[in-house]
Amino acid sequence: MNLLNNTHILKRIAILISLIIVSLILWNTYIFFQQFKTEQRIKMEILGIAQKELANADLNADITLQDKIITTNKNIPLILVNTDGNIESFQNLDADKSQDPLYIQRQLEKMKSENRPIEISYKGTNKQFIYYRNSDLLNRLTYYPIALILILFLFLSVIYLFYSSNKASETNKLWTGMAKETAHQIGTPLSSLLGWIAILKMEKVNDSYVSEIEKDVARLNTIANRFSKIGSKPELKEENIVRVTKLAFDYLASRSSKQIRFSFGASKEQIPVLLNTELFGWVIENLIKNAIDAMQREGLLTVQVENTAKKVKITVSDTGKGMPKKLFKQIFNPGFTTKK
């Protein structure tokens, strides 16, 4: 129990550490994005200052630095607008699409929505505004946190599935252990019952009584074997599936209400297949029991075994009330029942 508790604690610690690591990655990415965006704005402000100094420079002034600042901008799209809102120039827009004034206008509106403009004041009252858009690199970076979040969700989903499967595995192991222990407990009195049957035969007790007791003891032995095989790999042998199906059918038919009519049919007397007789018989018995319950102890129950080219089809049909069509896909799920 302590080992199980420690395992659960370690799992929770691992999940917590993973969440912290991924959260730190997301936070650092956000900080990096904001810093990159700030640096881009500073670059635009420097470009605006260079534009202003270039416009206000004397004819003999050295404008090499200002010109270099303006011309080295190769990745940030920008549009220069005057105080009247008219576009005076633009830079780093698509060369072909820039021939269309509507395209430039749409780009301007997009720039207005993304960033505050850089104001350039010249001598006198003249002003210009630099509108700019995030660079392609920055735009690509905006998708990076989204990708990380998706990775986070995927990561958490994998952890959840792993944790759930482990828990289901532990539950299955528990049920398997209980089933095997039940089989062991049943086996102990069975040995005694077999001894008592031998004594009854020696005492010349009515053979019909002893025969019925033997059948029930054999039945208990079959049930014990079924429980002992839960969780183990089934051992398959070549058996006549018609005979095995008929045995399960006859056993329940002889112990059911006389108001139920039973009918068994097979396309062949011998259909050899690889199966585990005890587990297969268990399945057939459950199907027949469900059919009997559905008919409320009165009606017709039919079992038909058909051999096709590659498969054997076994049909268990009854004249019961049936079930809603929406439940058809659930009827073979473990634990599913319509009984109340």
pLDDT tens by residue, 227-264: 777 767 778 899 999 999 999 999 888 888 888 999 99
- Phi, psi angles (nearest 5°) of residue 102: -65, -35
Residues of the chain with CATH 3.30.565.10: 234-340
* Tokens read off for 167: 């828990």
The pTM for the full model equals: 0.47
Residue 131 in contact with residue 115, Cβ under 8 Å?
yes
> What is the reported pLDDT for 7?
62
Output the pLDDT for position 243: 94
Other C-beta atoms lying within 10 Å of the C-beta of residue 47: 22
- Please give the structure tokens belonging to residue 121: 């004041």
pLDDT of residue 207: 78
pLDDT at 306: 93
The pLDDT, as a whole number, for residue 209 is 77
SS3 3: helix
The stretches in the chain having pLDDT less than 70 are: 1-8, 11, 47-49, 51-74, 122-125, 142, 145, 167-168, 179, 183-184, 231, 339-340
Question: For residue 62, what pLDDT is reported?
Answer: 54
- Are 292 and 260 contacting, i.e. CB atoms less than 8 angstroms apart? yes
Give the per-residue pLDDT at 68.
Answer: 63
Phi, psi of 122 (to 5 degrees): -100, 180
pLDDT of residue 3: 46
Burial label for 264, CB within 10 Å (0-12, 13-18, 19+), is middle
pLDDT for res 153: 77
Q: Does domain 234-340 have CATH number 3.90.180.10?
A: no
Terminal alpha carbon distance of the chain? 35
Using CA atoms, how far apart are residues 179 and 216, in angstroms rounded to an integer? 20
pLDDT at position 304, please?
94
